[in-house]
Amino acid sequence: MKKLLILLLVVAAAVIVWGVLRKRQPLPVNTAAAKRQTLVSTLPTNGKVEPFEWQAVRAETAGVVAKVEVRDGQAIAKGQELATLTEPSLAADVDAAQAKVAEARAALSGLEAGGRPADLSDIDTRLKRLHYDLEQATRDLGSLRRLQEHNAATRADVQAAQDRVRQGEIEIDGLEKRRGALVAKPDVAAAQARLHDAEGALGLAVQAGAYLTEGGLVANVGELGRVRVRVYVDEPELGRVAIGQPVRIRWQALPGKEWDGVVERKPASIQALGSRQVGEVVCTIANRDRELIPGTNVDAEIRTAVAENALVIPREALRHDGGGDYVLLVKDGVLERRPVRTGAASATQVQIVSGLAEGDAVALPSDIPFKAGDRVASTAM
């Protein structure tokens, strides 16, 4: 029993010694050294292209367009003629010709249908009645003939029935002829000729082009040698934007190409863009080859600051909590919390204005948790 107790004490002591030694073992940490370099701070976002200036060209007088001298996308010189208008009186000719075509079509449609609808309906109704009466008279004639064979009907009765059948047939034949007489082939041919003439007259009136009223829009002329790009900047980032800052534009449809310009105007208000709250920053962009098309969606990058000889560290080394910005400085193999003040920033680096010196090693994030006061074995990245 005494030997077992001694053995347990030895094991407990070994565990304590192992824990102390493990606690004193330095944690592996990757570090980066603060260094000096030129830091370019950029603000990436997106935007839409529009002409630098639109000018609506309108007709000085009313008339029909006789000739269009330009086409979409064509470069326009100052004073260049865009379109030629004919005499305004031609508009009345167009209206009259259109009215005559409509009238001729209506007349032809009625003739091809067999005449006026009211006349046709009256004849059809009377024909149905006469056909019904003829069927009845034919049945009566048959019955009287059978009765005559048995001396139950006189010859005069049969003759009277025959006369009624013949009268019905004559009336039906007369109505059929009247219906056919409502529209004669020469009438249809004449109506077709009148429609053809009316359409020909309309063609002569409008072949020159569309009719324009006084002040009617002829064309929109825009300057594309330079364009404006409305860049959408998220509200928290607007404080970094200033008039005159350089801007670079990229368009996915033309990979590898870039267009440069400057910030022309800051937003006057904030608006919703999907789930974002943004301000429209207006930029002027050089477009000498006129490759950027109005309405194009582009990627934009505003250069918000350039810091020469700036002391920088990787952005991931910068930490933040309720006490503000800080880094974990490696000093004599131990992590030390060091408050810092930042300046310009890029996508990968941040300027340290105070709190660090050139060459200081700061800890980078790791899968192994560590904190100020921990002993570390650092590896420079």
21-54 per-position pLDDT tens digit: 445 688 999 999 999 999 988 899 999 998 877 6
Residue 199 predicted with pLDDT over 80: no
Which residues neighbour 367 within 8 Å (Cβ) at sequence distance 6 or greater? Answer: none
**8 A C-beta contact, residue 106 and residue 117:** no
- Within 8 A by CB and 6+ apart from 151, the residues are none
Question: Is the pLDDT reported for residue 205 higher than 50?
Answer: no
Percent of the chain at pLDDT > 90 equals 37
Percent of the residues in the chain that have a pLDDT greater than 70, as a whole number: 65
For 46-102, give the secondary structure using H, E and C: EEEEEEEEEEEEECCCCEEEEEECCCCCCCCCCCCCCEEECCCCHHHHHHHHHHHHH
Q: Maximum distance among all alpha carbons in the chain?
A: 158
Q: Is residue 215 part of a domain?
A: no
Lowest average pLDDT, out of 22-31, 134-143, 302-311, goes to: 22-31
CATH number at residue 30: 2.40.420.20
Most confident of 68-82, 211-225, 293-307: 293-307
* Most confident listed range (75-84, 120-129, 159-168): 159-168
Residue 250 has pLDDT above 80, yes or no: yes
pLDDT at 58 over 80: no
Question: In this structure, are 34 and 118 located in the same domain?
Answer: no
| Average of per-residue pLDDT across 254-260 | 95
Strand 63-68 to 83-85 pairing: antiparallel
* Same domain flag for 119 and 199: yes
103 has a pLDDT exceeding 80: no
Picking from 275, 308, 341, the residue at the C-terminal end of a domain is: 308
Half-sphere exposure at residue 48, Cβ-oriented, CA atoms within 13 angstroms: 5
CATH number of the domain within which 241 lies: 2.40.30.170
Whether 85 shows a pLDDT value over 80: the answer reads: no
361, 303: one domain: no
pLDDT band at 204 (very low <50, low <70, confident <90, very high): very low
The number of angstroms, rounded, from the C-alpha of 241 to the middle of its chain's C-alpha atoms is 29
Q: Which residue has the higher pLDDT, 98 or 199?
A: 98
- For residues 344 and 306, what is the distance between their CA atoms, to the nearest angstrom? 8
* Interior/surface letters 174-210, b for 16+ CB within 10 angstroms, e for the rest: eeeeebeebbeeeeeeebeebbeebeebbeebeebbe
pLDDT at residue 207 in the model: 37
177: left (phi over 0), alpha (psi -120 to 50) or beta: alpha
> What is the enclosing helix (H) or strand (E) of 324?
strand 324-331
pLDDT at position 137: 83
> Could you give the C-alpha distances from 167 to 128, 157, 158, 171, in angstroms and in order?
15, 16, 14, 6
Which pLDDT value is given to residue 191? 58
DSSP 3-20: HHHHHHHHHHHHHHHHHH
Higher confidence at residue 99 or residue 125? 125
Q: Is the pLDDT of residue 208 over 60?
A: no
Q: How far apart are CA 349 and CA 43, in angstroms?
A: 13
Calculate the average pLDDT of the chain. 79
Query: pLDDT tens across 164-188, in order?
Result: 888 888 888 887 877 766 654 555 5
Query: Do 325 and 294 reside in the same domain of the chain?
Result: no
* Residue 98: band (very low, low, confident or very high) from pLDDT cuts 50, 70, 90: low
Is 182 a member of any domain? yes
Q: Residue 157: its pLDDT value, please?
A: 82
Among 112, 126, 117, 135, which Cα is nearest to 176's?
126
Strand 341-345, strand 349-354: pairing: antiparallel
**Quick one: 295 and 245 in the same domain?**
yes
Domain membership flag for residue 197: yes
Considering the domain architecture, whether residues 300 and 328 belong to the same structural domain is answered as no
Residue 21, pLDDT score: 45
In the chain, the number of structural domains is 3
Which of 264, 263, 262, 253 shows the shortest CA–CA distance to 298?
253
Identify the band that residue 128 occupies on the pLDDT scale cut at 50, 70 and 90.
confident
- pLDDT confidence of residue 80: 64
3-state secondary structure of 195: helix
In a domain, 244, yes or no: yes
Domain span at residue 291 reads 44-50+220-308
Tokens representing 98?
């259109």
CA atoms within 13 Å, Cβ hemisphere of 210: 9
- Six-digit token pair at 308? 């020469």
- Residue 73 domain-assigned? no
Are 335 and 302 part of one and the same domain?
A: no
Residue 17 pLDDT > 50: no
CA triple 104-105-108, angle to 5 deg: 85
Asked if 228 contacts 285 with a C-beta cutoff of 8 angstroms, the reply is yes
- Residue 167 and residue 253 in one domain: no
Whether 233 and 299 share a structural domain: yes
Q: Does a structural domain hold residue 88? A: no
The span from the CA of 81 to the CA of 44, in Å, is 43
Asked which of 157-161, 198-202, 203-207, 333-337 is least confident by mean pLDDT, the reply is 203-207
194 and 161 both lie in a single domain: yes
Q: Tokens for 21? A: 């030694």
Residue 327, both tokens: 């880094």
**Strands, E, within 176-292: which ranges?**
211-212, 217-234, 246-250, 258-265, 271-273, 276-286
Whether 351 is covered by a domain: the verdict is yes
Instruction: Name the token pair of 47.
Output: 């935007």
User: How many angstroms separate the CA atoms of 297 and 248, rounded?
Assistant: 14
Mean pLDDT for 209-220 is 60
308, 324, 350 - which closes a domain: 308
Query: Which residue, 259, 278, 308, sits at the end of a domain?
Result: 308
The residue whose two tokens read 């001729």 is: 104
Q: Please tell me whether residues 200 and 119 are part of one structural domain.
A: yes
Q: Are 293 and 341 in the same domain?
A: no
Top mean pLDDT of 60-64, 142-146, 167-171, 328-332 is at 328-332
Domain assignment present for residue 268? The answer is yes
